[in-house]
Structure 1
Amino acid sequence: MTARGYADRFEAGRTLAGSLRAYAGRGDVTVLGLPRGGVPVAYAVADELDVALDVFCVRKLGVPWHRELAMGAVAAGGIRVLNEDVLKRVRVDPDEVDAVVVEESAELVRREHAYRGDRPPLDVRGRVVILVDDGLATGATARAGLAAVRQLRPSRLVLAVPVAPREALAACAKLADEVICPLMPDPFDAVGRWYEDFSPTTDDEVRTLLARRAPKQ
């Protein structure tokens, strides 16, 4: 990592792993990557620490006329997290919110099957879970992920991201037992600004990375 950020998501993951050495080699640790961009970061973390890796699907709820602006997120288990500040500012009608929830929930189910096929998710009850994304902007996606993973009853829940604004991390810290973030720039601008290569991660890349660290039969 340099003052300007990371070369790519794999370097970001290796940097994160350096702050997570206490969990290295432990049989009770699972790294969960938020797709798609969080999976290469999570793969590098799991590979460096030599721990289990899986994917955990969360979908951003974009404002209907400005999809990049997150008004919340949905996650596995029927979890829905809304960004009330955004909803008040842009005045989204409740029916419009519900329509986006239905749309993104369907995509969440599709991705679960696309990434994992018929393989069931790893059981994280009683385990240390490290939830990983490639960065936070509003933090809505991470908060939805944390809330959903907490329902799976891990023994400890860690959020690890390479870059994020301090206010987003503060909101997530209320839901996690530990938050790791090596780079907290101010001004923040956007996650992609802090990567030299921020190319979109494809479904095929996600499947390939998960297969590389799949449990041996």
Structure 2
Amino acid sequence: MSGEYASPPCFMHELEPGRDHAPAPRDAWADVARWRQAERKRLLDARLALDVAARHDSANRIAAALDRTIGKTGGRTVSSYWPFRGEPDLRNWSIRVIERGGRIALPVVIRKNWPLEFRAWTPGDPLERGMWNILVPARGPSVQPDIVIAPLVGFDAANYRLGYGGGFFDRTLATLPRRAFVIGVGYAASRVATIYPQPHDIAMDAIVTDA
């Protein structure tokens, strides 16, 4: 299986030689974290190499697949996102959700290691630069989404999402007062055999790609 990756999925060979006991859980997590960092870079580099036309075509196919997956959005609050680093651009799809009677919210990082806050957004609302320079609503009510669209860097067959490493979505999903339907969104080429899920990882309810 290791031949499927750009770097070895296990770094046990780099641990202290001569150890005759199994590594502690923190050692195993260190291996997984190092693998994820390398895989994240590989996937992001490939994503950023896509040309504008390819991204536009992929975004349209993802939008159509989201419509089929979600169904009617009237009266429902959907957390979308403002794209960065080559993520599928779903801003036009988000506007169509509003035109069909739905509501859009955008995730906002309040501070490091805190859950995200979802703020209601409509076209024309003021935006400001948040973490990673992503545009977020400058103000507006905090809302609880019925559907959460989570952009991903990678994903696996068990619907686990590889994100950017901050843990914001996992932390948020674990603390939502009301369960939302969570959809990971990304490119089909971002699929890996496994992300080596850990206890803190939360699987998506569905993964939607351009395939």
TM-score (norm. length: structure 1): 0.43
Q: Which has the higher contact order (CA 8 A, sep 6+)?
A: 1
Larger Rg: 2
